[in-house]
Amino acid sequence: MSSAPLPSSPAAPSTLAARPESLYALQFPSDPQLSPDGTRVAFVLTSIRPETPDTASTPDTAGTVSTTGTPDPERPRYFSAVHVSDGGAPRPLTAGDARDSSPRWSPDGTQLAFLSDRSGRPQLYLLPLAGGEARQITRYATGVSSPAWSPDGRYLSFLTRADAVDRRDELGEARVVTSVLYRANGSGMTPPAPAALYLHDLQKGTTRPWHAPERDIDDLVWLPGTQGALLVSSATQDDAIHWRRDVFRLPLPDGDAPATPTQVTRWAAPIGQLAVHPDGQRFAGVGRPPGSINTHDAHVYLFGPDGTGTRLDPDWDRPAGNIVAGDLHVGRFPTRPVWRDDATLTVTYTVGGTAGLYDVTLAGTVTPRLHDPHGAVTAFTAHGEHLAHISESAARPTEVHLNGTRITRHGEHLPFTPAEPRRVTFQTEDGEGEGWILLPPGEDRVPALLNIHGGPHTAYGYGFMHEFQLFAQAGYGVCYSNPRGSVGYGQAWSEAIHGRWGTVDRADLEAFFDACLQQEPRLDAARTGVMGGSYGGYMTNLITSRTTRFQVAVTDRSICNLISFGGTSDIGMRFWDDELGGNFHRRDDVDRLWAMSPLRDVQDVRTPTLVIHSLQDLRCPIEQAEQWFAALQLHGIESRFVRFPDEDHELSRSGRPDRRVKRLQEYLDWIARHLP
């Protein structure tokens, strides 16, 4: 692949405008962590630089290793450092050719724990903020994750598989599988045992196992007074298969034996993002109620000491969490609810195409704390009235804020001028829907691209999309919307497509696109394209098998065969039951799944189609793309298949930088060929 030179600083050459390589000039802040006194914020800043001789032997984001020993301008990689600010310009606390992450303040604010892969796998380091070098705490062959301080500052907990390196693939050994949970997108084949919880005692300088779980620990939060912790896991293997979680109380170890947890809840439904109430007895969590399915919006629940949970926001019909799409989210974006005081919880909610912070009281009232009607809060941490957060808008990239002051200036160094979107509404029998158009500069008529989001229970809106800005700068009108099935518009809108993918959602997409063509005279109805990823790829396949109105299509990490998906996806054993009320392993459901599969009608496709997929995608396995491409070819449809090695379902958002650029260039080349 031919690439433009990588920028040496965020101020990129103007020649990068309207080029996929403009990605290299972007900065990616993440994981804002507020200091205990609320006056400083530590965060991770990721940038893209060429691999150097010093870094050429360290694992890259795909886990592969280069042994060339020479810099390669065609090997751009992510590097990240921990930065800190007291309200002024941020300064780096760490530096070098590594990926530093997960900064965590000690309770007294004098030390910062963080992870770094500078010695290979991510290890735990401790940095004295009064001065001095970072001290390496762990040296495990598998690395560590999820560091957390105990409230008294004596302990650091973390997850690790220690030195139990799984070398079965490397040695060519057979894997014996006894559960359908044997692989997961982003991590590959499941190791023999889940990561264990460890404790590092800073007083004694010792590290020991705390708890070896039977199933993965999905969340952990320390209890006040360092009386142990609450953790989230599945009580049984069947619960894990069906996404059922519960909360367990874990005491500190007594003697040399690991601690044994006690089950607190009998929730048996998705739950996490725990926030212990100041009284130390109750706790809040974000999840779905027992018996609910994937189409049910997440909300906030308050649990008593006996594990009984009650919804805290019963009259608020918007989902908890930031679910607005953006493609600058490299790293960790915490949205764990925080108790503002003993009667008020600060929670992130998605509201239409926006996301903001809201205060939820024990009485059930929900009021905005920080909500931009044209933006999205993507991450936050807080202590009382003090707040650190990251926000973005459709025309402003991710920026870090401390107590109301913006401390980063990434938007001032973009190599292009972002376009502001125009809002477009459309009508449905369930109410008004909304979407947006991004247009290139000038007054010329331009081709129109319909872009369909994944999920389906996510949302487009006011998140920053470098991809959309790129298409607009290249001379296209980008049309994107939230059809029924999207989130942020209430429970009825979210679940409107249950059991009927490709019906009302397709009608909404076409109604929105028609509204764009009618309301924006610059859009050329004779030059149109359709594209999308994941569920958006499914809809692209479905639409091109039902209509010939589009002159070009791009289907990315898509689904075409609902039957084979059920047995090959890492979520297939549960996903169709939740979404469609049936699954591939039941005789009575197969005919309906096949009727909803675009592959059934592939012989009717006439649209030239670019198929893009990643080999390690276990969410929408590559066999889906292989079936679609093979069928297109057999029916004589112009098509092109681009396969990315060592990438999974997240290529477009956090994949290796040069592969992200290659993907974007493939889009532009294919569209330009068919929409001159």
Contact 634, 641 (CB under 8 A): no
Contact 132, 112 (CB under 8 A): no
* Degrees, nearest 5: CA angle 72-75-80: 115
How buried is residue 197: exposed, middle or buried, by Cβ count under 10 Å (0-12/13-18/19+)? buried
Q: Residue 155 has what DSSP assignment?
A: E
Taking CA atoms, 328 is separated from 1, 25, 82, 531, 594, in Å, by 23, 12, 17, 20, 36
Indicate the SS3 state at residue 301: strand
Q: How many CB atoms lie within 10 A of CB 39?
A: 14
Q: How many CB atoms lie within 10 A of CB 654?
A: 20
Contact 299, 319 (CB under 8 A): yes
Q: Which residues are marked as active site? A: 534, 649
Cα-Cα-Cα-Cα dihedral sign, residues 139, 144, 149, 154: negative
- Dist CA 288 CA 439 (whole Å): 39
58: which residues sit within 8 A by CB, 6+ positions away?
65, 97, 98, 117, 118, 120
* Degrees, nearest 5: CA angle 589-591-595: 120
How buried is residue 538: exposed, middle or buried, by Cβ count under 10 Å (0-12/13-18/19+)? buried
How buried is residue 444: exposed, middle or buried, by Cβ count under 10 Å (0-12/13-18/19+)? exposed
